[in-house]
Amino acid sequence: MAVTDTFRLFGSELSPYSVKVRSYLRYKGMPHEWIPRSAANQAEFQKHAKLPLIPLVITPEGEGLQDSTPIIEHFEAKASGPSIVPDDPALAFLSALIEEYADEWTNKWMFHYRWSYPADCWATAERIALQMMGDQGPLAVAQARAAVAERMTGRLGFVGSNPVTRPLIEASFTRAVEILDRHLAARPYLLGGRPAMADFGLWGQFYEMATDPTPGAQMRTSAKHVMAWVERMVSPRAEGSFESWNALSNGLMPLLKQEVGVLFLPWSAANAAAIQKGEKSFEVKLAGAVWSQEPQKYHARSLAEIRRKYATAKGAAGLDKVLGEADCLRWLA
């Protein structure tokens, strides 16, 4: 391909959604330029971005694409190479559901550890400040670091991280790491020999946590298979085929039962209901514990999208049986 066929990806190493898209582009062999978002490229970013959010992909034709899942779905419909969507429509939906859980629930882990633990907070603020202001000298970096730390710790409540929810968030992370470490001991990717949509979504969050002091230390100590998968997904490649649900169920059903059906989908429904009622905050019991936070407007649209995908896939053989067993069905139907 000529240089003119290169995609431009504006992002940050600190953004799980940016690295998620980069990993996908690498997997597909799509020529791209990785552009760390900074003040130096503000003009070009604003020219193509409809929202002040990363990742932003600028296509060779000059089209600006945002939001990691739609970006990947846009390219997946066009790109050659091994598909990230299994031929089995039931498995394809389960992959999309796990990706949704990753984007909207496991992000709570990442954000919580990153901004509520002092060591993680200051390490991350330093990295962001260096990316944004590194060319303006040490004083500008120091000022930016303090500003970033103050702003982001102030946003912990937005993802639901507070003293009441802290134990639930941290227990969820520990449990999911244990489930996934057992599952990944027998295969390179979540659904078998090649990455699926579920891999890209979950990996973006785990990649960030692997680079942060507190969750990174926990993963390196107790989850060697998860860490190997994190490293593999930096530049993933097809090593085989997708497995069948029968082969995957022992490893992934615990994630669906103990995380997606018990925590993520009930939280999603409560969040959507609070937005519909115009409430300033909401409270819901998750796994016997109280969860309270202000509603997340974006996620209500995200829930509507996964319900739309379910409506399309619900006739797939075996899907409703799996979702019913995992206590997911009632939140999607």
Using CA atoms, how far apart are residues 319 and 152, in angstroms rounded to an integer?
40
Q: How confident is the model at residue 250 (pLDDT cuts 50, 70, 90)?
A: very high
pLDDT in tens, 29-58: 999 999 998 778 888 999 998 888 999 999
Using CA atoms, how far apart are residues 164 and 161, in angstroms rounded to an integer?
8
Q: Which fold has domain 3-76?
A: Glutaredoxin (3.40.30)
What is the percent of the chain with per-residue pLDDT over 70, rounded to a whole number?
A: 99
Say which residue the tokens 């971005």 belong to: 49
Using CA atoms, how far apart are residues 270 and 310, in angstroms rounded to an integer?
19
Where is 255: in which H helix or E strand? helix 245-255
What is the percent of the chain with per-residue pLDDT over 90, rounded to a whole number?
A: 86
Helix axes 107-116, 213-222, angle to 10 degrees: 120
Whether the per-residue pLDDT at 3 is higher than 60: the answer is no
**199 Cβ neighbours under 8 A, 6+ residues apart:** 84, 189, 190, 191, 229, 233, 236
Using CA atoms, how far apart are residues 150 and 94, in angstroms rounded to an integer?
38
Would you state the pLDDT for residue 30? 95
Burial grade of 90 (CB within 10 A; 0-12, 13-18, 19 or more): buried
Would you state the pLDDT for residue 1? 37
Q: How confident is the model at residue 2 (pLDDT cuts 50, 70, 90)?
A: very low
pLDDT in tens, 270-328: 999 999 999 999 999 999 999 999 998 888 888 999 999 999 999 999 999 999 999 99
pLDDT in tens, 169-204: 999 999 999 999 999 999 999 999 999 999 999 999
Would you state the pLDDT for residue 252? 98
pLDDT in tens, 64-79: 999 999 999 999 999 8
Would you state the pLDDT for residue 131? 81
Residues forming CATH 3.40.30.10 domain(s) in the chain = 3-76
